[in-house]
Amino acid sequence: MNTDVELENSTGSESPAKRHEFLWLKDGNVVLGTNVYLFKVHKSVLSMHSSVFRDMFELPTEEDLDMGSSDIGAVGMAPELYEGVHFVSLSDDGREMEHILRAVYERGYYDPHSDEGTLEKFTALLRLSCKYDFSVIRKDVLGHLSRLYPTYLEDYDNAAKAYLEIFGNPRSICHLPLLKAAAEAGIDDHFPSLYYASSGSRVIPILNIFLKSPSHYPTMHRLIDGQQSLGKAIQDLMGAFIMLTERCICVHMNQYHPDIFDGEEIPEVFCTHNLVGLSSESLFSKKFPLRACNLCKESFSRRIEEEREAIWEAIPSFYRFNKTWDEIRAELPTQ
């Protein structure tokens, strides 16, 4: 049986969409049309999970309307039938819609404690759970993102070391697509750490991802602006490090050690937007163990950690968030 049908989308052009293999439920009472798939599902189930679908299904249907007053098309809704079943045309990508509907119908399809799903699946759930207010999925997705991009520096350091690979990719290449999806979902305002993480990207990948649509320009401007402020703050941290350690070398180390100066690459170590590599442990134990005497090491470490914390505290302001970390934490769902 050929199940392909021609579906007229909201722009009036023709595109083939076929019945979804298993999200075509015999007793479903609404057909959702997308560019790729048709889904036959239940109004009651969608209404239970999503306030937007609930409101949509509470709108008068074709039968309720007087002839000629068909202007009810919220969220692409068309007052029409498909094989006798209420039909709703959606502008969303069918593959993305498949992810959110499976998360609704299949227990365990999305586990916010696992990072093993694909990036495409996660960003689809992020976008559509926010767009349609699938409140439980939205809460899970935001909690998941908060676990990967924490709001405290110590937690962020630990997350960066623990989650080297997420959604089947090296963590570093997920930052920009996640930031883009968060901005599209309208929840980037809860995630300064996602802007911070994305600041390690070079300018061409940033332009490639955000220049395609003017709607992304504000996110791009915020990111580039914050990247520069963060870079300046890290230069200041480098200045403090050099000042402290040079004085120690001159005053406390009465014998010249060639290793102290030779082969050190201070500008290279500080040429970063990543505070993890600038922890006192990393600087004084791993990268520059000879630049502080044992007497000074402890106080220098404290000073560097204070400087790092001060930079972290300023991160929301670098990226034009008009709120503090505490205010941002209060808005996020607790896990």
Residues 294-313 that bind Zn ion (CB under 5 A): 296
Interaction between residue 252 and Zn ion (CB under 5 A)? yes
Q: Is-contact 143 331, C-beta < 8 A?
A: no
- Selected from 141, 248, 283, 328, the binder of Zn ion by CB under 5 A is 248
Helix (H, G, I), strand (E, B) or coil at 132: coil
By beta-carbon proximity to Zn ion, the closer residue of 181 and 296 is 296
Buried b (16+ CB within 10 A) or exposed e, 186-215: ebbbbbbbbbbbbbebeeeebeebbeeeee
Say if strands 14-24 and 30-33 run parallel, antiparallel, or are unpaired: unpaired
Q: For Zn ion, which is the closer residue by CB, 124 or 296?
A: 296
Closest to Zn ion by CB, 50 or 245: 245
Indicate whether 232 belongs to the interface with Zn ion (CB under 5 A): no
End-to-end distance of the chain based on CA atoms, in angstroms? Answer: 47
For the CB of residue 296, give the shortest distance to Zn ion in the complex, in Å. Answer: 3
Distance between CA 115 and CA 313 in Å, rounded? Answer: 28
Of the ranges 3-11, 95-103, 241-249, 327-335, which one interacts with Zn ion (CB under 5 A)?
Answer: 241-249
Query: At closest approach, how far in Å is the CB of 295 from Zn ion?
Result: 5
Q: Which is nearer to Zn ion, 30 or 296 (CB)?
A: 296
Q: CA–CA separation, 24 vs 30, rounded Å? A: 10
Distance CA 135, CA 3 (A): 33
Q: Does 293 bind Zn ion (CB under 5 A)?
A: yes
Pick 32 or 248: Cβ nearer Zn ion? 248
**Element spanning 159, H or E:** helix 153-162
> By rule CB under 5 A, what string of x and - marks binding of each residue 104-143 to Zn ion?
----------------------------------------
Closest separation between CB of residue 298 and Zn ion, Å? 10
| Choice between 72 and 293, CB closer to Zn ion | 293
Tell me which long-range contacts 116-123 makes (C-beta under 8 A, separation of at least 24): 116/167, 116/168, 117/167, 117/168, 118/167, 118/168, 119/166, 119/167, 119/168, 119/169, 119/174, 119/177, 119/178, 120/95, 121/167, 122/167, 122/178, 122/181, 123/177, 123/178, 123/181
Quote the least distance from Cβ 239 to Zn ion, whole Å: 18
- Residues 284 and 271: their CA atoms lie apart, in Å, by 17
249 touching Zn ion, by CB under 5 A: no
Of residues 135 and 299, the one with the C-beta less far from Zn ion:
299
Q: Report the largest interatomic distance among the alpha carbons of the chain, rounded to a whole angstrom.
A: 96
Which span sits near Zn ion by CB under 5 A: 27-35, 162-170, 255-263, 293-301? 293-301
CB of 244 to Zn ion, least distance (A): 9
For Zn ion, the closer of residues 34 and 245 by Cβ is 245
Token duo for residue 89 = 């045309």
Instruction: Tell me: does residue 260 bind Zn ion (CB under 5 A).
Output: no
Q: Compute CA distances 121 → 34, 100, 112, 115, whole Å.
A: 17, 9, 12, 11
Total number of residues binding Zn ion (CB under 5 A)?
4
Among the residue ranges 201-209, 277-285, 292-300, 302-310, the one whose residues contact Zn ion (CB under 5 A): 292-300
Interface residues with Zn ion (CB under 5 A)? 248, 252, 293, 296
